Structures are given as structure tokens and as C-alpha cells.
Amino acid sequence: MKTKWILGVFCAVTILACKSPESTKILRLAHGLDTNHPVHQAMVNLGEHLDSLSKGRLTVKIYPSGQLGAERECLELLQIGSLDITKVSGAVLENFVFEYKVLSVPYLFRDKAHSHKVYDSPVGRQFLMKGSDYRLRGLCFYDAGSRSFYTKDRPIETPQDLEGMKIRVQKSNMAVSMVQQLGGAPTPISWGELYTALQQGVVDGAENNLPSFHTSKHYEVCKFYSFDEHTAVPDVLLIGTETWNRLNDQEKEWLQKAADASAVYQRDVWARAEEEALRVIKAADVQVNYPDKSLFAQKTKAFDELFEPNSEAFQLMQAIKAIN
């Protein structure tokens, strides 16, 4: 069934690509977010910049809301050249590129300013290039805020409150291990299926950033949002190396400039989205609380010793911590 699905998507996007004028190259970009999401808005901004820089010779066609599959499927489509660009969480990317596990280490970043410095640094560029051996070349990072727990029936004040609770996580070994360390029962469920899973009691809660909690309307089901801010895993914009290698040097320059500009734009949009999300969920009677984060950090301290001291992953983690 999975093979049939990939073949079906390949045929669909190939037909669409063939309909473009010969003078214009169209890059197909797919992702799983709603069109109201600030990260989607950043990708729209990328398309506008690219169209302007190239004078219409290189453009982007966006397929949002999981039209071409979930994040893992989109990565697989990139690898075989049936899709050009996608946006995925760094947590999902760790299943393809081991070193991305580092970005899911709880409380790795001191604050938002620290995370932005990392994304813009040579260390950030190292991460983006890490996927090239797997046909996945990073273009830029998008700020995905800090992830916190939200639940249906009671707030999370301490790690002990998670005991016995089924918490939706991404399909990420690091996310599964983190919830286990905190005493919860991690339950991987795709993003598109989560609203129904919360409604039907398949899970008791989930963990994500504030704008995603808002735009997904999960606040209609979950009335408790606890700002423990356990991780700050970025989103990553990737292009398949098959597509990248088909671009000439000028086209590569246009695309990278447009991606970099969209990342700067997205940070401002994200900050406004966080403010708006907090206003909306409070108006919807969601109880917002701010637990003692040190209790959660202490329970997840073992992640600091996860990587072998001589490994590249360990060295990358230390380099991140050293950035001021």
C-alpha cells in the first residue's frame, strides 16, 4: 500500500510539474501545517522572494496541510526525487540523520536568543549539511518555539503529574524517551490524527508549541497548557539533493537567499503568533500555568550523557552549549 501511495503522489506531482511553462522552473514544496500557521507563512514569503529574485524563472508551488503525506512520507519523496522541498520537525529528521537527535535534548537551549544564535552559526550550518549523505540538504531553520505539555483533565505542575498519562509524541525516539523519563506513557500519533485522538480519549494530552496548539484548535479539547518548555526543536526546510543538483549556480543562490530571508521573516511572525495564541486560548478558558522547570530538567538530566564522548553528536551538543 505504501509503494502504491508513493507511486500515486509521484504521478500527480510529475503531471503538475509538466504543465509549467518551459521558461519557468517550479519547485514543489509540501508540508503538513495549516495555512494559518506562521511557518507556512514563512514558506509563502520564501516563494515571493524567490519569484522576485529570479524574475519568475524559479518559483515555488506549496502543498500544505499534508496533501502529499505526513512528514516522514515527504522526506521519502524528497529522497527519490518525487518532491523538491519539504518542512519537517527536527525531531522527525532524527530518524534519517542521527545527529539531529542533539536538537531534541531537553533544556539544551538557554533561551530563544541562544537558539537563534545556534541556527545562524557555523554549528547550525553543520546540521543543515548533515543530511546531504541521505539526499536531504538543509536550507534553513524555522523557529518552532518551545514545546510544552497540554492536557484534557488536569494541569501538569510536576513530572509526577504525568504518571499514567498517555501523551502524544512525534515519531521520534528522543521524544518517546523524554516522556518515559518524566513518567508518562508516550504515544506516537500523526499530527493530522491528533485532534480526533484527543476527542476520543486515545491520549490524555500532547506536547507542542503554543502556535501549533492554537492553529490546530486542540485548545477546544485540552483545557490545560503547562509552560514547562522541555524542548525547543526547530523546524527544518530541506531540499532533495536530486533537485539541488539539477539547479544551476545562479538558481541555487536565488533559492538560498530566499530561504535565509524567509527564516528572518518567520521569527517576527512567530513572535506575534505566540502572543496571539496566548490571547486566544485564555479567551477560550484554557488554564495556563507555569511549573518549576528545574523539576523537569532534573528528571531529564540523563540526556546529557546520551552520546559517546568522542562522537560527532556529542561534539555538536558541546558546541551548542558553548555559544554565547
Of the candidates 242, 219, 305, the one whose C-alpha atom is nearest the C-alpha of residue 79 is 242
Beta-strand pair 224-231/287-289: parallel
* Residue 221 vs residues 94, 138, 322: alpha-carbon distances, Å: 30, 35, 40
Find, among 189, 231, 207, 202, the residue nearest to 151 by Cα.
207
Boundaries of every domain in the chain: 2-92+108-143+234-275, 147-232+280-319
From first to last of its 324 residues, what are the pLDDT tens digits of the chain? 554 455 455 455 544 444 444 589 999 999 999 898 999 999 999 999 999 999 999 999 999 999 999 899 999 999 999 999 999 999 999 999 999 999 999 999 999 999 999 999 999 999 999 999 999 999 999 999 999 999 999 999 999 999 999 999 998 999 999 999 999 999 999 888 999 999 999 999 999 999 999 999 999 999 999 999 999 999 999 999 999 999 999 999 999 999 999 999 999 999 999 999 999 999 999 999 999 999 999 999 999 899 999 999 999 999 999 999
Q: Look up the pTM and report it.
A: 0.88
Residue the block writes with cell 495556563: 288
* Spatial separation of the C-alpha atoms in residues 217 and 205, rounded to whole Å: 13
Topology annotation, domain 2-92+108-143+234-275 = D-Maltodextrin-Binding Protein; domain 2 (3.40.190)
Alpha-carbon distance of 259 to 83, in angstroms, equals 17
CA–CA distance, 178 with 163 (Å, rounded to integer):
13
The CATH number of the domain covering residues in 147-232+280-319 = 3.40.190.170
Residue 27: CB atoms within 10 Å: 22
